[in-house]
Homo-oligomer: A and B are copies of this chain.
């Protein structure tokens, strides 16, 4: 019994640190990749064995596809885009197909991408008919004079760029429609638990050339106001990449992540404060955000290939891999104890 308590205490302390690999990397791996599928009330006891497997397999699929690109010498940008596109297309996650409904009963997507080599970036917000919002974010970065486009302007630009446009119903899955209708019918009677409100997908990668990239995509907050943007399309809040420091993709209660400039703050702590990735990410996620009662987490990867994935919620869908290592897949806090 005492040993069990000690084990619980160790688990707790480990989850507070919340970095998958506590030791700092000594030699930069040929590549590294981390992805997430949102943070929230993700607990083993709320998940059937089938659901558990489904999430793990889905994360593994996106991670593997991204890893293939990096293994073949591809860019971190391509790896991030590939992994996120797969997560957007997967109805399990709150991005692309399967995204949450807003208070008006339809879906608006946000996404952004940033590359660490020149800190170039692209973002789209409140877009309704672009099949893969992360591809639109990339086109904004690479083929427009701008960094950030929203609504019709973004939708028209994406169509002109030849991206796939779909009927808004394409994104709607019955689980999210039911949640919307339940909330609409009972909105005065209950608060939606945080874990059901949020969700995001994202990826960070380091390629063989030493270039970092980060991307994030989401349907935003369940029952959000029409036109609401969270942190996901905001460069500096939900997404940041700089070869001088790190790449970060965030997930959680976006309003607070904007107010703290979470992704950029982690990088600034490293650049100006001399903090390690672990220290910086831990301070922001486990202290600054917690002080504001803001649930969520981040995935981050520094220029030396160190990976850190802290979250202050019960769980976070996440996965990571480095050249020459087996992949790590985690859903719950307890997964942190898995040996990779």
B146 touching A224 by the CB < 8 A rule?
Answer: yes
Closest beta carbon of chain B to A172's beta carbon, Å: 19
Interface on A for B, CB 8 Å cutoff? 114, 119-121, 125-126, 144-154, 156-157, 224-230, 234-237, 240, 254-255, 258-261, 264-265, 268-269, 271-273, 275
B226 touching A153 by the CB < 8 A rule?
Answer: yes
The quantity of this chain's copies bound in the complex is 2
A121 touching B259 by the CB < 8 A rule?
Answer: yes
Knowing that A121-B259, A148-B230, A152-B226 are A-B contacts, what are 15 other residue pairs whose CB atoms are under 8 Å apart, sorted by A's residue number? A114-B259, A121-B258, A125-B125, A125-B229, A144-B225, A147-B259, A148-B229, A149-B225, A149-B227, A150-B150, A153-B226, A261-B264, A264-B264, A265-B268, A268-B268
Task: Point out the residue from B114, B148, B152, B261 that lies within 8 Å of A235, measured CB to CB.
Answer: B261
Closest beta carbon of chain B to A129's beta carbon, Å: 13
- List B contacts of A255 (CB < 8 A): 145-147
> Can you list 9 A-B pairs with a CB-CB distance of less than 8 A?
A114-B259, A146-B228, A147-B254, A147-B258, A149-B225, A235-B237, A261-B264, A269-B272, A272-B272
Bound-state CA distance A236–B261 (Å) is 6
B150 touching A151 by the CB < 8 A rule?
Answer: yes
- List B contacts of A153 (CB < 8 A): 126, 225-228
- List B contacts of A226 (CB < 8 A): 152-153, 156
Closest beta carbon of chain B to A232's beta carbon, Å: 11
Closest beta carbon of chain B to A187's beta carbon, Å: 13
- List B contacts of A148 (CB < 8 A): 228-230, 234, 258
Closest beta carbon of chain B to A302's beta carbon, Å: 16
Bound-state CA distance A236–B225 (Å) is 22
Closest beta carbon of chain B to A101's beta carbon, Å: 14
A120 touching B151 by the CB < 8 A rule?
Answer: no
Bound-state CA distance A207–B104 (Å) is 40
- List B contacts of A230 (CB < 8 A): 148
- List B contacts of A150 (CB < 8 A): 125-126, 150-151, 227, 229
Task: Across the interface, name the chain B residue whose C-beta is closest to A254.
Answer: B147
Closest beta carbon of chain B to A298's beta carbon, Å: 16
Q: 3 tightest A-B contacts by CB?
A: A153-B227, A272-B273, A268-B268
- List B contacts of A145 (CB < 8 A): 225, 255
- List B contacts of A273 (CB < 8 A): 272-273
- List B contacts of A234 (CB < 8 A): 148, 234-236
B227 touching A152 by the CB < 8 A rule?
Answer: yes
Closest beta carbon of chain B to A228's beta carbon, Å: 5
A225 touching B157 by the CB < 8 A rule?
Answer: yes
Bound-state CA distance A40–B119 (Å) is 24
Task: Across the interface, name the chain B residue whose C-beta is closest to A124.
Answer: B227
- List B contacts of A151 (CB < 8 A): 126, 150-152, 227
